[in-house]
Amino acid sequence: MCRAEPDVVDAVRYLELLASEAPATSFRDPVADAKSRGVGGADLRRLSRAERLAHEVRGLIEQQRRRTASLSGLLDATRDLLDAGDVAGMLGLVTRRVRTLLHLDMSYVSLYDPELDADVVRAVDGHASGLTPGFQVPKEGGLGAAAHRRVAPFSTSDYLADPDIRHSPEIDEVVRSEGLRAVVAVPLSRSDGTHLGVLYAAGREVRHFASDEIALVGEFGRLVAQAVSVGLERQRIRATVERLSSDVRRAEEERERGWRLRGSQNTLMELVLSGADVDRLLVVAGQLLEADIRFEEGDSEVPRHDQGTAAPKEADGRWTCPVRGAVDYGRLVLSRAQPLHDLDVALLRSCAQALAALLQSRATGTALQDDFLEALLAARPGTRQLTARRARGLEIDLHSPHVVVVARPEGGLSDRARAWAAVYAREAGGLCSRREEHVVLLLPGADPSAVARAAADSCTVATGRTVTAGAAGPGARPDAAPGMYKQAVRCLDAITVLGATGGVASPRDLGFLELLLADERDVKGFIGAVIGPLLEYDEQRSTDLVPTLEAYYAANSSPTRAGERLFVHANTVARRLERVSELIGPRWQEGAGALEVQLALRMYRVRTYLRATDDDGQG
């Protein structure tokens, strides 16, 4: 059996060592064995050459392993970038991966900000104290500017000691504070070549970057640039979609608000056209705005030059809106816990406009009432049919009992008093008119004193001023108004002369005082007001109530002696006096009332005697 040549056997041994991935130190063993056997010369040189070749093959294998590991890490990084949800998360993965790939201490990435026209650090990985997101990288100097100019990775083994770098004081200060030495910068560019940013990786030891590391980080930078560019574009598209969606939602909300506002305005207009009262409109306005709303009469406190376009204003937690038509009616005051939005403000203004329209329409109706009442008071001949038609149009029944009230607020007749008169007459189903110093009200009712007292009290509450009022009536014919107005004015004058400011009186309240104080003494009217029901009763039933009452007074209020004068029993006198009380009330038995009745009886007898004398003389 022939023995193999020693160099061939030893060469095969090197192949076995490489196949078993033996450590590099074991490559010295075959040469050492050959020397121990006395091999030398050309055989030993060939064997040493085989050792060198084995080392080279091992280096190539290690290099391939490193490349494979780098490519695997690059592939993992690519998958991570694809899975990243947003750009911020993507940048965090990028800095962590590049630091791991190159086994360095820290990494950071900056992106170009067009508003600042500068690169701004967006993510940092590794321990850092002075370099934080938001740091603005100077345009000139540093590795980033060099990498951007070269459009390729740029590195240094020791940044601060490298004379070939264009240094920047700001960057040098950051590098010095972080203790950085070896740094590599990778430019990030979009597919069209525009600058996107720079990826940095750095270590705190001096280090020379190998060419395969530079190639690896350059390839990684291209992947990062594409991923970030796509992420930014998606982010821009997402922002655009969100903005458009927000615009659509805002447009839909605006449309809904518009429909709601128009619906609310229609509701308010229906109230105005139907002639609803102010309280009803305020209730509906409060429901529409879900708030407490009240109307304050008087000056709206809006400057004259702003009144045409005055809008609601907020002050002291309340919203106020002027109510203006032909005049300044006042203002709406709104209170609620929630703030008012634009729609609410517009709706509040619509409520104020509706209220102004309602008050303005009432003012127009009040003008018609004024004209009609003035026509009644003037008592022009030949207007009976016209008066009847106008009364029906205003829904006024002049054939039912009604009274006339003349009211005078202290300090003169203000706009507020005029407005009160219009509203009060409308709500009471009557008429109103205004003179220089007083308002005239024609109101339904049979008791002039009670009607006047209610009107005076209401006017005092509305105006805050003392009100004096005279009244007369009742009457049940359209032509009764002039006479009742004259009597009411005389009563008002009588109260004024007596100094009873704030008082209320009718002819029955004043009695004979009204007759004595009047410039034109209406004796017939006085007699009719005091004992008229007795005279009518005697005339219609042929009774003797008036003579019985005269006999009763003449007998010093003794029914027995009065019966003797009349030749009737005292019980008959008593029954007749009960009828008297039913017809004119119990005042005929009281002091002032008895005096008025006795005066009226005397005047009636005198007028009867004078008429009889006149008739005899003519006969």
pLDDT band at 569 (very low <50, low <70, confident <90, very high): very high
Read off the pLDDT of residues 114-133 as tens digits, 9 standing for 90 and up: 888 889 998 898 887 767 78
pLDDT band at 610 (very low <50, low <70, confident <90, very high): low
Read off the pLDDT of residues 48-90 as tens digits, 9 standing for 90 and up: 887 788 787 877 777 666 665 555 565 565 666 655 667 787 7
Q: What is the pLDDT of residue 515?
A: 55
More confident residue, 361 or 351: 351
Contacting residues for 559 by C-beta, under 8 A, at least 6 apart: 552, 570, 573, 574, 577
- Cα distance between residue 86 and residue 586, in whole Å: 99
Residue 5 has pLDDT above 60, yes or no: no
Residue 306 has pLDDT above 70, yes or no: no
The answer to whether the peptide bond before residue 474 is cis (omega within 30 degrees of 0) is yes
Residue 605 has pLDDT above 70, yes or no: yes
Read off the pLDDT of residues 402-437 as tens digits, 9 standing for 90 and up: 899 999 998 888 878 887 888 888 788 888 888 778
Tokens of 26: 């074991």
Q: What is the pLDDT of residue 576?
A: 92
Contacting residues for 396 by C-beta, under 8 A, at least 6 apart: 372, 429, 430, 431
Secondary structure of 462-473 as H, E, C letters: HHCCCEEEEEEE
Read off the pLDDT of each residue in 290-305 and give the average, rounded to a whole number: 68
C-beta neighbour count of 144 within 10 angstroms: 24
pLDDT band at 304 (very low <50, low <70, confident <90, very high): very low
Tokens of 418: 């005029």
Read off the pLDDT of each residue in 485-508 and give the average, rounded to a whole number: 81
Q: Average the pLDDT over each of 159-173, 264-278, 334-348 and give the range with the smallest value.
A: 264-278
Read off the pLDDT of each residue in 393-408 and give the average, rounded to a whole number: 79
Q: Average the pLDDT over each of 108-112, 127-131, 140-144, 402-406 and give the range with the smallest value.
A: 127-131
Read off the pLDDT of residues 210-252 as tens digits, 9 standing for 90 and up: 887 888 788 878 888 887 888 788 888 888 888 888 888 888 8
Read off the pLDDT of each residue in 27-39 and give the average, rounded to a whole number: 78
Read off the pLDDT of residues 446-478 as tens digits, 9 standing for 90 and up: 899 899 999 999 888 888 889 999 998 888 887
Residue 177 has pLDDT above 80, yes or no: yes
State pTM to two decimals: 0.40
- Cα distance between residue 344 and residue 130, in whole Å: 52
Q: What is the pLDDT of residue 71?
A: 57
Contacting residues for 222 by C-beta, under 8 A, at least 6 apart: none
Read off the pLDDT of each residue in 303-329 and give the average, rounded to a whole number: 67
Residue 360 has pLDDT above 60, yes or no: yes
Residue 206 has pLDDT above 90, yes or no: yes
Of 511, 514, 475, 473, give the one whose Cα is nearest residue 492: 514
Residue 384 has pLDDT above 60, yes or no: no
Evaluate whether 202 touches 105 at the Cβ level (below 8 Å). Answer: yes
Mean pLDDT value across the chain: 79
- Cα distance between residue 19 and residue 61, in whole Å: 11
- Cα distance between residue 595 and residue 597, in whole Å: 5
Burial label for 283, CB within 10 Å (0-12, 13-18, 19+), is middle
- Cα distance between residue 372 and residue 392, in whole Å: 12
Q: What is the pLDDT of residue 586?
A: 86
C-beta neighbour count of 601 within 10 angstroms: 20
More confident residue, 70 or 151: 151
Read off the pLDDT of each residue in 30-41 and give the average, rounded to a whole number: 78
Read off the pLDDT of each residue in 302-327 and give the average, rounded to a whole number: 65
Read off the pLDDT of each residue in 525-551 and give the average, rounded to a whole number: 87
Evaluate whether 201 touches 216 at the Cβ level (below 8 Å). Answer: no
Q: What is the pLDDT of residue 547?
A: 92
Q: What is the pLDDT of residue 418?
A: 80
Report percent pLDDT > 90 for the chain.
10
Residue 526 has pLDDT above 80, yes or no: no
Read off the pLDDT of each residue in 282-290 and give the average, rounded to a whole number: 86
Containing 295, the helix (H) or strand (E) segment is strand 292-297
More confident residue, 363 or 195: 195
Evaluate whether 369 touches 394 at the Cβ level (below 8 Å). Answer: yes
Q: What is the pLDDT of residue 3?
A: 43
Half-sphere exposure of 331 (CA within 13 A, CB side): 17
Q: What is the pLDDT of residue 305?
A: 42
pLDDT band at 300 (very low <50, low <70, confident <90, very high): low
